[in-house]
Amino acid sequence: MIGPVTVTVAVMISQKEKESTMSNVDKDTANWRLYGGGGLLVGGILWLLGVVLGQAGVSGDVVKWLGIIGLVIVAIGFFLVAWGQTGSNGAVGNSMLGKVGLWAAAIGTLLWALVPAFGGMVDGALGWVTAILVVVGTLLAAIAIMQKGVARGLAKWAMWLVFLMALLYFLGTVGGVAALASWVIGLIFAIVVALTGLLYLLNKK
């Protein structure tokens, strides 16, 4: 027969184990900030460098591979911002819609990076698929991040800027809006992604 003291001790031990586990995986210790934010920052900087060097007339291969590597790292950053340390505590918290959005953005960014690496072009139907994945994905992520409140301060709103720049960029490159088909839009897009990563790195919770 189990006495009340034994039951009380068992409950206390269970609660402490739960608290211990949560202390290892909560939003304060989640590595979405370090690895996700770091990926967006490093990838964004490489992408930005590629855009700047391209305008400076540097070798096409150098510019091409800086862009490809930068975008691949950004894609990895999107994934890690979604899944964090354990797959449940990224910037979107437990929002499956937010996770799916960031995963879509990651897949779209990988397509954007890797298709040219193999000699292809991100245009036509593939261009639209890439655009939809990145634009809709970042929109869903921005909504989830704002609602969950894991990211604080400016970091809470940064993904909205990423969404806005993705929309403008793909309207210019895929949608045929001539006024937006400028390297400046790509430059600003890269800067916004890098700054978003920095804000995530500096996020306290």
Which amino acid does the sequence have at 56?
A: A
* CB-based contact 180:168 (threshold 8 Å): yes
What's the whole-number mean pLDDT along residues 114-138? Answer: 93
Other Cβ atoms less than 10 A from the Cβ of 170: the count is 24
What's the whole-number mean pLDDT along residues 115-143? Answer: 93
* CB-based contact 92:141 (threshold 8 Å): yes
Residue 18 has pLDDT above 60, yes or no: no
Q: Residue 3 has what pLDDT? A: 53
Residue 60 has pLDDT above 90, yes or no: no
Residue 86 has pLDDT above 80, yes or no: no
* Model confidence, pTM: 0.82
**Which residues, in sequence order, are bridge partners of residue 90?**
93
What's the whole-number mean pLDDT along residues 132-152? Answer: 93
From residue 139, alpha-carbon distances to 90, 97, 119, 183 in Å are 16, 11, 30, 23
Per-residue model confidence as pLDDT tens digits over 91-125? 998 889 999 999 999 999 999 999 988 888 888 89
Q: Residue 65 has what pLDDT? A: 94
Residue predicted with more confidence, 3 or 77: 77
* CB-based contact 37:91 (threshold 8 Å): no
Residue 6 has pLDDT above 50, yes or no: no
Q: Residue 9 has what pLDDT? A: 41
